[in-house]
Amino acid sequence: MKLKEVKFVKSVDINSKEVFFDEKHEIIFLGRSNVGKSSLMNAIFEKKDLVKTSSMPGKTRTANLFLLNNKYYFTDLPGYGFAKMWKEKKQDLDNLINWYIEERRDYIKSAVILIDSKLGPQESDIEMYRHLLDLEMDITIVVTKIDKLNNNDIKKVNFLSQEAFFWQPINLLSAKSMVWIKEIKNLLFEKVIG
């Protein structure tokens, strides 16, 4: 698929009913707050700031749907596992993520889990991974911000990630220096069509 057009279409929360009836295929982006979900989406879209990025964690409070070529959704979800947030708020966001995934599970062609290469896989990432496995969902693991690491540390985080995610392929990339962006883009485009 060649990306001809991308536009923001809507934000939905747990009170929105319209997502139930929409049969468009979809890719969702998941990860801890600040891991680089929005930045990766912008890099894939070749847009500077269509998806709002922020250095302040916990900004996204809704599922934000972007429509590609009038046909497929790429969806930015709130971050999980943000320790400093009020418990109640955090629970709300986790509920929203889980609700969205359950409602859309038949149409989600892959769930991208982003891992910060500086931190490696965290408990909340593994929890999400297992949840998606239980739902028999296709999962794409992305380790991002590798521009911050030297080659040795990249190797280390690659190994740790493979170990944590049952030796499934790991995609190492940087949205900042655009390393391996073309490859992940092609991979996700293939999956969303399928």
Residue 34 near ligand GDP by CB under 6 A: yes
Amino acid letter for position 15: N
Please name the residue ranges forming H helices in 47-180.
Answer: 87-104, 123-134, 151-164
Number of residues interacting with Mg ion: please give it, by CB under 5 A.
3
- Residue 118 vs 156, nearer CB to Mg ion: 118
**Max Cα distance, the chain (Å):** 48
Number of residues interacting with ligand GDP: please give it, by CB under 6 A.
19
Tell me how many degrees the CA angle 158-164-170 measures, rounded to the nearest 5: 40
CA 167 – CA 29 distance, rounded (Å):
20
Site string for ligand GDP, 49-88 (x = CB under 6 A): ----xxx-----------------------x---------
Residues 101-120 that bind ligand GDP (CB under 6 A): none
Residue 38 near ligand GDP by CB under 6 A: yes
Among 6, 19, 60, 113, binds Mg ion (CB under 5 A): 60
Stretch that binds ligand GDP, among 37-45, 81-89, 132-140, 156-164 (CB under 6 A): 37-45
Residue 172 near ligand GDP by CB under 6 A: no
Amino acid letter for position 189: F
Residues 6+ apart with CB under 8 A from 184: 40, 44, 140, 142, 171, 173
Q: Residue 34: name its binding partner from Mg ion, ligand GDP, none (Cβ under 5 to 8 Å by kind).
A: ligand GDP
Collapse the DSSP code of 61 into the 3-class scheme (helix H, G, I; strand E, B; otherwise coil) and give the result.
Answer: coil
Stretch that binds Mg ion, among 53-61, 105-113, 144-152, 179-187 (CB under 5 A): 53-61
**Measuring CA to CA, which residue among 110, 142, 189 is closest to residue 32?**
142
Among 90, 104, 145, 185, binds ligand GDP (CB under 6 A): 145
**Measuring CA to CA, which residue among 6, 35, 67, 39 is closest to residue 178?**
39
Which chain residues interact with Mg ion by CB under 5 A?
37-38, 60
List of residues contacting ligand GDP (CB under 6 A): 31, 33-39, 53-55, 79, 144-145, 147-148, 174-176
